[in-house]
């Protein structure tokens, strides 16, 4: 059986770690799937680590100078055994500009989509309906 890659958007991690009152439980179910997967069938960008830290810091009043906070978030993300991290490359930034225009996305979503396309992900796990305007299947 061939496992198709699934790209995981930043909001899944923010909802999970931030305990979102509406989406937290659903995000946790995705995290559980990711952590129980023996192969790296889920992928996200290395940008996701920074974005998750930045958003959670804003929500909690913590800052990126708080070593313990940064370590906890970093460890939570990197310990998910079914999750791979894809590095951003110069071509991803360029491709995102084209995707921004083509699908009328903001640049952040376009960057994530560029990486999803680069790794040939078949789905994106996100509650961001902007991805419905694209050619990738969105699940949440």
Average pLDDT (85-109) is 97
Give dist(CA 98, CA 92) in Å, integer.
Answer: 10
Listed residue (71, 81, 70, 74) closest to 32, CA to CA: 81
Residue 104's CB: how many other CB atoms inside 10 A?
12
- Are β-strands 123-125 and 137-139 bridged in parallel, bridged antiparallel, or unpaired? parallel
Is the CATH code 3.40.640.10 the one for domain 6-134? Answer: no
Give residue 39's pLDDT band: very low, low, confident or very high (50, 70, 90).
Answer: confident
- What pLDDT is recorded for position 3? 65
Confidence category of residue 2, pLDDT binned at 50, 70, 90: low
1 pLDDT higher than 80: no
Which 3 state secondary structure label does DSSP give 6? strand
79's tokens: 């310990």
């Amino acid at each position: 059986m061939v496992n198709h890659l699934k790209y995981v958007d930043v909001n899944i991690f923010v909802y999970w770690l931030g305990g979102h009152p509406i989406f937290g439980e659903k995000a946790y179910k995705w995290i559980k799937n990711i952590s129980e997967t023996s192969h790296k069938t889920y992928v996200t960008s290395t940008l996701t680590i920074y974005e998750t830290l930045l958003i959670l810091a804003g929500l909690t009043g913590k800052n990126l100078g708080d070593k313990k906070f940064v370590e906890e978030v970093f460890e939570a993300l990197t310990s998910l055994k079914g999750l791979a991290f894809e590095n951003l490359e110069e071509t991803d930034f360029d491709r995102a500009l084209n995707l921004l225009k083509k699908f009328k996305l903001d640049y952040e979503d376009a960057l994530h989509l560029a990486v999803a396309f680069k790794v040939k992900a078949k789905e994106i796990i996100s509650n961001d309906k902007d991805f419905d305007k694209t050619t990738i299947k969105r699940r949440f």
